[in-house]
Amino acid sequence: QGRAQKYIVKNYFYYYLFKFSAALGEEVFYITFLPFTYWNIDPSVSRRMIIVWSVVMYIGQVSKDILKWPRPLSPPVVKLEMRTVAEYGMPSTHAMAATAISFSFLMATMNQYKYPFELGLVAAFVFSMLVCLSRLYMGMHTVLDVIGGALISAVLLVLLYPAWDVIDHLLLTSPFCPLLSIVVPLVLCYNYPKLDFYSPTRGDTTTILGAGAGATVGFWLNNQYAAPAYTSENFQLGIPLITSKIVVVALARFFVGIFVVLLTRELMKSMVLGMLGYRYKFPIGDREARRRLEVEVPYKFITYSSVGFSATVVVPLLHELLGLM
């Protein structure tokens, strides 16, 4: 089951379209789009998206391992991905993430920026639909998995939306925020549902909660010591005229930020794995050892909380130092 299947591509347009669409529900997208939103669009929008993303993904991942619905049988289905093949199917967390990110972005910006609401709605729908269809094309989910994921995400969005401002205010101002932002996700990761076999769901969940935790601590620190978010109106009445200078500065912020984020991830991976390897007496390359609870959770959590913290605190300081603010 872990071996790649042979297949013939008959339509390269669909093949590359859905390969790309599938990547919109994976780490490569999260680690670029969410920080880009924070650096170049609006920190308040980014904060709300990260809250929703963390909650939705945790519930989705745990639901998979509680329900234990299998992925589509192969054959007859050809699976074009191997990394997540050991995971259960229902609900599709790609569908959940795509729905949560696209529609939370719409909901967070529609009252702050002047743009045609219909255009935003169509964009959110097309984005989430492409990711959902990619899961069917890649052979990773049934139609029911995808519909279930999108519906669960929609329900969670409806439930979370009325409390957004309250949650955001508490996360920025409560003195207990840094402690709770670290302790609660760690407790959830260490008490993740146990399976009879190894699945990447626990590691992926720890990655997401770790990144969210690091970012939340960063938000709190910025509010305490940099620019408080609640000292004045945070609404921006209209999208500024996009000029070549704005585009150049935005791209510079993005590339500087992504370099720092990726460098942080690689350095922390090596350092944390080295420390855990020394503590538990295993070589860094030992994949089985890295899957153990006492290794996987701290390794993923520390690494990605450092990434979240770096993206929200270190990168903006560097932007200011380089005159990119």
169 is annotated as an active-site residue: no
Helices assigned H by DSSP within the chain: 12-23, 27-36, 43-67, 93-109, 117-137, 143-160, 164-173, 177-190, 201-225, 244-280, 287-290, 293-309, 315-321
Asked if residues 53 and 97 have their Cβ atoms less than 8 Å apart, the reply is: yes
State yes or no: is 141 an active-site residue: yes
Long-range contacts of 221-227 (CB under 8 A, 24+ apart): 221/178, 221/313, 222/43, 222/312, 222/313, 222/316, 223/172, 223/173, 226/316
Structure confidence by residue, pLDDT tens digits, 273-322:
888 888 888 887 778 888 888 888 999 999 999 999 999 999 998 988 88
Catalytic residue of the set 47, 64, 141, 253: 141
Instruction: Give the global pTM.
Output: 0.83
User: pLDDT tens digits, the chain, 325 residues: what are they?
Assistant: 445 567 777 777 888 888 888 887 787 888 888 888 888 888 888 898 998 999 999 999 999 888 888 887 777 777 767 666 667 778 888 889 889 999 999 988 887 777 788 888 999 999 898 888 888 888 888 888 899 999 999 999 999 888 888 888 888 888 999 999 999 999 999 998 887 787 888 888 999 999 999 999 999 998 888 665 544 444 444 445 556 777 888 888 899 999 999 999 999 999 988 888 888 888 877 788 888 888 889 999 999 999 999 999 999 989 888 887 7
CB of 219 closer than 8 Å to CB of 54: no
Among candidate residues 47, 71, 79, 94, the one labeled active-site is 94
Residue 156's nearest CA partner among 195, 198, 100 is 100
Distances in Å between the Cα of 78 and the Cα atoms of 2, 5, 279 are 12, 7, 42
29, 195 contact by CB (below 8 A) = no
What is the helix (H) or strand (E) element at residue 7, kind and residue range? Answer: none
pLDDT in tens, 28-39: 888 888 888 888
